[in-house]
Amino acid sequence: MKKNEKIIVTIEDIGVNGEGIGKVEGYTLFVKDAIIGDTVEAVITKPKKNYAYAKMIKIIESSKHRVPAKCAVARQCGGCQIQELSYEAQLNFKARKVYGNLERIGGFAPEFLDTVMEPICGMDEPFYYRNKAQFPIGTDKNGNIVTGFYAGRTHQIIPNMECTLGVPINQEILKIIVDFMQENHITAYDEEAQRGLVRHVLIRYGFKTKEIMVCLVLNGDNLPHSEKLVDKLVRIEGMTSITYSINRENTNVIMGKEIRVLWGQSYITDYIGDVKYQISPLSFYQVNPAQTEKLYGLALDYAQLTGEETVWDLYCGIGTISLFLAQKAKKVYGVEIVPQAIDDARNNAKINGMKNVEFFVGKAEEVLPEYYAEYERKHGTKAYADVIVVDPPRKGCEETLLDTMVKMQPKRIVYVSCDSATLARDLKYLCENGYELKKVKPVDQFPMTTHVEVATLLQRMDS
């Protein structure tokens, strides 16, 4: 196919970035904004040998799963990818994606998958679920201060304060900040010229505690007239922390390393289940706490703890799963590569009075094998774990790690994943090395996007 050629295509699947996928004479087309079930007219924009990118011109026959986007700028924004697909169809698509990867990459038979796979866990209200938002601040061509989001793959700000994934209070906060900047002639940062003061606004909200944090990211070390801004912001119920972060670098990284308090505390507190977390502007924290509670609750169920177990939580981040497990285990060891996350994990263990957790900084694929070798040298016996939980990033686990896990012979392995393709690859390895897949349950942590998380349980065959 050639550039600018027009074609008619029926969409059958969704790509990683939310684009519709359809086939014409064996040739694969990726069509932005088209959804499963649509028949569309599209124009080829980028032809390759076996596939092409195309732009939708018009919908010829609309999918029965098509719904109007809740957000007026859903198509321009890079944040949501599948708002025009009904939520039910989104969940179906995600469950099928997991199933398909386990079958194709994992080599599990459909008859078997039908016995272990549980229905996907969705949200009752799939909007307004994010507890964190980072809004860029800029200036429009008339010199007005604007905020919104970057148009997909650009740094051009599309004005919009009404993101339907974020909490509604964001709008009120942004309006106060924009008005304050306008009235006090505070400049917005201009990326190209590397001039101007306010770069971003970070807002975090504790769903359980209703505490609010506002952090302005500045290209400078102070905010003129800040008392006027604080005076307005503190009137918002729940306001707990007002800070700014200094970032003078010419970089895509949003936050600077230094944080200064303008008013209140330097952190907010929130809960997942009964576990308390202190969250500072730089802390990692799961963005959908309601679904995180379900996903990690599932991991805890799968672990089947009685209080006697030794458990490892690999890729533990700020220790969310570790602390969940520690409520019911004898001892939990957490391993994480980012030192600051481990500082948070240790602090969170402390504020919850949990003494049966220990954290290690390092790569899981190095820390666990070294621990295993060292244990054998010291004690003459093999290190043992009752349960091992892993929650790796998208690339999954390295084989050296899977190998050590198998050697430690845990009765159960709980694998939590954000990428079902690498999950399938790793499950295949574990199932070829003494484990049996018992349960698989997808959880929708990010409605309106193509992401899907999965909790799985494996059991040692001879246990």
Per DSSP, what are the bridge partners of residue 357? 332
Q: Does residue 447 belong to the site contacting ligand SAH (CB under 6 A)?
A: no
Residue 336 found at the interface with ligand SAH (CB under 6 A): yes
- Choose the binding region for ligand SAH from 36-44, 122-130, 150-158, 316-324 (rule: CB under 6 A): 316-324
Quick one: which of 217, 305, 329, 364 contacts ligand SAH (CB under 6 A)? 364
Nearer to ligand SAH, 241 or 286 (CB): 286
- Out of 208, 232, 363, 407, name the contact with ligand SAH by CB under 6 A: 363
Do the beta carbons of residue 313 and residue 292 sit within 8 Å?
A: no
109 binds ligand SAH (CB under 6 A): no
Nearest CB to ligand SAH, comparing residues 286 and 288: 286
DSSP for residue 271: E
Q: Does 399 interact with ligand SAH (rule: CB under 6 A)? A: no
Query: How far apart (Å, rounded) are the C-alpha atoms in residues 316 and 284?
Result: 11
Q: Which residues are catalytic?
A: 418
Interaction residues for ligand SAH, span 246-305 (CB under 6 A): 286
Would you count residue 393 as binding ligand SAH (CB under 6 A)?
yes
Longest CA pairwise span in the chain (Å): 74
Least CB distance from residue 335 to ligand SAH, whole Å?
6
Choose which of 188, 201, 214, 335 interacts with ligand SAH (CB under 6 A): 335
- Minimum CB separation of residue 364 from ligand SAH in Å reads 4
Does position 320 bind ligand SAH by CB under 6 A? yes
For the beta sheet containing 198-205, the strands, ordered from the edge strand earlier in sequence to the opposite edge, are 157-159, 145-150, 132-139, 198-205, 212-218, 239-246, 258-264
Residue in 9, 102, 316, 454 binding ligand SAH, rule: CB under 6 A: 316
User: What is the distance between the alpha carbons of residues 139 and 160, in angstroms, rounded to a whole number?
Assistant: 13
> CB of 393: closest distance to ligand SAH in angstroms?
5
CA angle 334, 357, 446 (to 5 degrees): 50
Strands (DSSP E) contained in 391-463 are 412-417, 435-443, 453-460
Q: How far is it, in rounded angstroms, from Cα 321 to Cα 316?
A: 7
| Nearer Cβ to ligand SAH (168/393) | 393
Token pair recorded at residue 147:
């905020």
Q: How far is the CB of 20 from ligand SAH (least distance, A)?
A: 29
State the residue number with the nearest CB to ligand SAH.
Answer: 317
Which residue type sits at 400? T
Pick between residue 152 and residue 362 the one whose CB is nearest to ligand SAH: 362
- Whole-number minimum distance, CB 394 to ligand SAH, in Å? 9
Size of the site for ligand SAH (CB under 6 A): 18
Min dist CB 292 to ligand SAH, Å, is 7
- Does residue 419 touch ligand SAH according to CB under 6 A? no
Q: Residue length, the chain?
A: 463
Strands in 310-314's sheet, in edge-to-edge order, are: 357-361, 331-336, 310-314, 387-390, 412-417, 453-460, 435-443
Among 203, 321, 423, 437, binds ligand SAH (CB under 6 A): 321
**How far is Cα 279 from Cα 270, in angstroms, rounded to an integer?**
8
Is 341 near ligand SAH (CB under 6 A)? yes
Specify the stretch interacting with ligand SAH by CB under 6 A; choose among 18-26, 242-250, 275-283, 315-323.
Answer: 315-323
DSSP 308: -
Specify the residue, 169 or 361, whose C-beta has the smaller distance to ligand SAH. 361
Choice between 33 and 365, CB closer to ligand SAH: 365
Of 29-37, 108-116, 139-147, 363-371, the window that binds ligand SAH (rule: CB under 6 A) is: 363-371
CA distance 292 to 48: 40
In the complex, what is the shortest distance from the CB of residue 153 to ligand SAH, in angstroms, rounded to a whole number?
A: 24
Q: Interface with ligand SAH includes 391 (CB under 6 A)?
A: yes
Terminal Cα-to-Cα distance of the chain (whole angstroms): 57
Residue 339 interacts with ligand SAH (CB under 6 A): yes or no: no
Spatial distance between the Cα atoms of 100 and 106, rounded to a whole number of angstroms: 9
Q: Which residues of 47-79 are buried (b: 16+ CB within 10 A; e: fewer)?
A: beeeebbbebeeeeeebebbeebbbebbbbbeb
- As given in the structure block, the two tokens for residue 227 are 């008392």
Q: How far from the centroid of its chain's Cα atoms is residue 115's Cα?
A: 28
Cβ contact 203:214 at 8 Å: yes
Task: Please tell me whether residue 181 binds ligand SAH under the rule CB under 6 A.
Answer: no
Closer by beta carbon to ligand SAH, 46 or else 394? 394
Q: Please, what is the minimum distance in Å from the beta carbon of residue 418 to ligand SAH?
A: 7
Interacting residue ranges for ligand SAH, rule: CB under 6 A: 286, 315-318, 320-321, 335-338, 341, 363-365, 391-393
